[in-house]
Structure 1
Amino acid sequence: MKTILLLLGLTALSANALASSEAAWAAYDKSVLASCLKASQLKGTQAIGSPAQFDDQVGYTALLLQGRYPQPHMKNQSGLELCLYNKQTKRAAVTEWDSVKSLKAR
């Protein structure tokens, strides 16, 4: 009986150990933001909202970025980028995401 109680207690403790703390999530979000900002082609880039956490099987976190195009022909026009952060490699990739703006107008 004591063995069963001991096993149950250890199981409960190990489940808590696997859960990430708020501080760990904040540090992760900070590294996602830093990587995404570094990968961005926009100037004055800011995150819109919080990172979207995909399941570990997918392996990515998504973050929407907003800033201004630096190219002279873009005339400082605002733009959006979607950043995908690879959890395994800890690298970010961005793509233009201005089509989202047209969805808001509908």
Structure 2
Amino acid sequence: MKVISFTAILLAITTGPALASSTEQWAEFDKQVIASCTKASQLKQAVAVGRTAQFDDRVGYVAVLLQGRYPQAHMKNKVGQELCLFDKKGKTAYVTEWDSVMPAPLQK
């Protein structure tokens, strides 16, 4: 009986409450992701469109859709989109053009 009591006490001491991130911590993390993605973007005046997409921790990435204007003269300031993948472990943003991926609006 003493062994069971000792084990229960030991488990109670070593097992703490699960720590969850607060709303403020998630908001700060989103700001960091968006800042990193807009810095990596090739678009002028790049801004995040919508919210970040948080993938499962096993994947390790956050996705952000960016929109801005192409800086090249031949693009004539055309609006463009890029998809940014932010590597949570490496704290690195990777962007790719996303214009051709966007589907045409559905026909009614």
Unaligned runs of 5+ in 2: none
More helix, by proportion: 1
The residue number in structure 2 matching 1:83 is 84
Offset at 1:99?
2.0
2: CA distance between counterparts of 1:64 and 1:26? 17
Specify the structure having the higher radius of gyration (Cα). Answer: 2
The residue number in structure 1 matching 2:95 is 94
Offset at 1:10?
7.8
The residue number in structure 1 matching 2:35 is 34
SS for the counterpart of 1:29 is helix
Cα deviation digits, residues 7-57 of structure 1 (max 9, x gap) = 3x985x512xx2111111011001000000000000011110000000011
2: CA distance between counterparts of 1:40 and 1:96? 9
2: CA distance between counterparts of 1:40 and 1:71? 14
Unaligned runs of 5+ in 1: none
1:1-106 equivalence runs, <5 A: 7=12, 11=15, 14-15=17-18, 18-101=19-102, 103-106=103-106
> TM-score under structure 2 normalisation?
0.82
SS for the counterpart of 2:30 is helix
> TM-score under structure 1 normalisation?
0.84
Report the count of equivalent residues.
Answer: 101
CA RMSD of aligned residues (A): 2.0
2: CA distance between counterparts of 1:39 and 1:48? 15
Which aligned runs of 4 or more in structure 1 are off by greater than 6 angstroms? none
